[in-house]
């Protein structure tokens, strides 16, 4: 199963995936590259480090969505990689129907909460401010329903009373770094046949 990673920022989850690939624990899943909508994103530095292509794709003037030209450019760039699956790992754009219909039920997203709680931005902070006692992270199929597509898997993080936000962020990220490689491997093994 060939997958492509899309990200906008630091890329710690992409790094976890690529480390899992290098140490043989991704099974039949193979990364074909990394694409970013931010030319200076640290995630692009992972390409040379792990020996896979990593490219910036020009994304138009809008900040959170693609204009039609940018959307067409992205679809072409993804198709050119030969990827069968697209993994959003910190990709901070909202994908609309034109994009989603180009890769039907083949785009997954990692979100730092137990969906359907705390959709949208700053999910860890939202959970912390709400005062939940458990939170976690979710990998789901991307649909037009923002952070609302079918759930593939989740991991739980306990929030002890008084836990500082920074410590919760560290714990959720650690859970993400375990969950995402597990799900990508499982997709390659044909799990989730009932969902995808
Ligand atoms: C991750 O926590 C991911 O769940 C979140 O961005 C972070 C990216 O970190 N994604 C979203 O909030 C999507 N709505 P990373 O660049 O270090 O992997």
pLDDT at residue 56, as a whole number: 98
Q: Is 19 exposed, middle or buried (0-12, 13-18, 19+ CB in 10 A)?
A: middle
pLDDT, position 159:
98
- CA nearest ligand 1 atom 8, residue: 90
Which active-site residues does the annotation give?
111
SS3 state of residue 86: strand
Average pLDDT over residues 1-24: 98
Q: What is the DSSP string of 116-181?
A: TSS-SSSHHHHHHHHT-SEEEEEEEE--SSTT-SPEEEEEEEE--TT--HHHHHHHHHHHHHHHHH
pLDDT at residue 151 in the model: 98
User: What span, in angstroms and rounded, lies between the C-alpha atoms of 26 and 103?
Assistant: 22
Instruction: Report CA(176)–ligand 1 centroid distance (Å).
Output: 9
Q: What's the pLDDT score for residue 194? A: 86
Whether ligand 1 lies within 6 angstroms of the CB of 112 is answered as yes
Q: For the segment 171-195, what is each residue's pLDDT rounded down to a tens digit?
A: 999 999 999 999 999 999 999 988 8
| pLDDT over threshold 90, residue 104 | yes
Query: Does any ligand 1 atom lie closer than 6 A to the CB of residue 7?
Result: yes
* pTM of this structure: 0.97
The architecture (CATH level 2) of 2-188 comes to 3-Layer(aba) Sandwich (3.40)
- Residue that has been written with the tokens 């609302």 in this structure: 148
Cα atoms found within 13 Å of the Cα of residue 72, Cβ hemisphere only: 2
CA–CA separation, 107 and 88 (whole Å):
7
Report whether pLDDT(98) > 90.
yes
Q: Ligand 1 pocket test: which of 13, 41, 181 has the largest number of ligand atoms within 8 Å of its C-beta?
A: 13
CB 118 within 8 A of CB 147: no
Check pocket membership of 90 for ligand 1, CB cut-off 6 A: yes
pLDDT in tens, 40-57: 999 999 999 999 999 999
Cβ burial of 134 (10 Å; 0-12, 13-18, 19+) is: exposed
């Amino acid at each position: 199963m060939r997958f492509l990673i899309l990200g906008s920022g630091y890329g710690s989850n992409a790094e976890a995936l690529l480390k899992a690939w290098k140490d043989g624990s991704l099974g039949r899943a193979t990364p074909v590259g990394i694409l970013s909508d931010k030319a200076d994103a640290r995630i692009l530095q992972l390409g040379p480090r792990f020996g896979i292509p990593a490219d910036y794709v020009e994304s138009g003037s809008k900040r959170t969505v693609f204009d039609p030209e940018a959307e067409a450019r992205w679809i072409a760039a993804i198709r050119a990689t030969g990827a069968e699956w697209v993994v959003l790992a910190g990709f901070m754009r909202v994908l609309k129907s034109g994009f989603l219909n180009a890769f039907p039920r083949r785009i997954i997203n990692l979100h730092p909460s137990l969906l359907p709680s705390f959709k949208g931005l700053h999910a860890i902070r939202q959970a912390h401010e709400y005062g939940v006692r458990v939170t976690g992270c979710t990998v789901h199929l991307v649909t037009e329903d923002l952070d609302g597509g079918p759930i593939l898997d989740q991991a739980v993080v306990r929030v002890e009373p008084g836990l500082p936000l920074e410590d919760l962020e560290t714990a959720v990220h650690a859970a993400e770094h375990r969950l995402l490689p597990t799900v990508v491997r499982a997709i390659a093994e044909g799990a989730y046949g009932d969902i995808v």
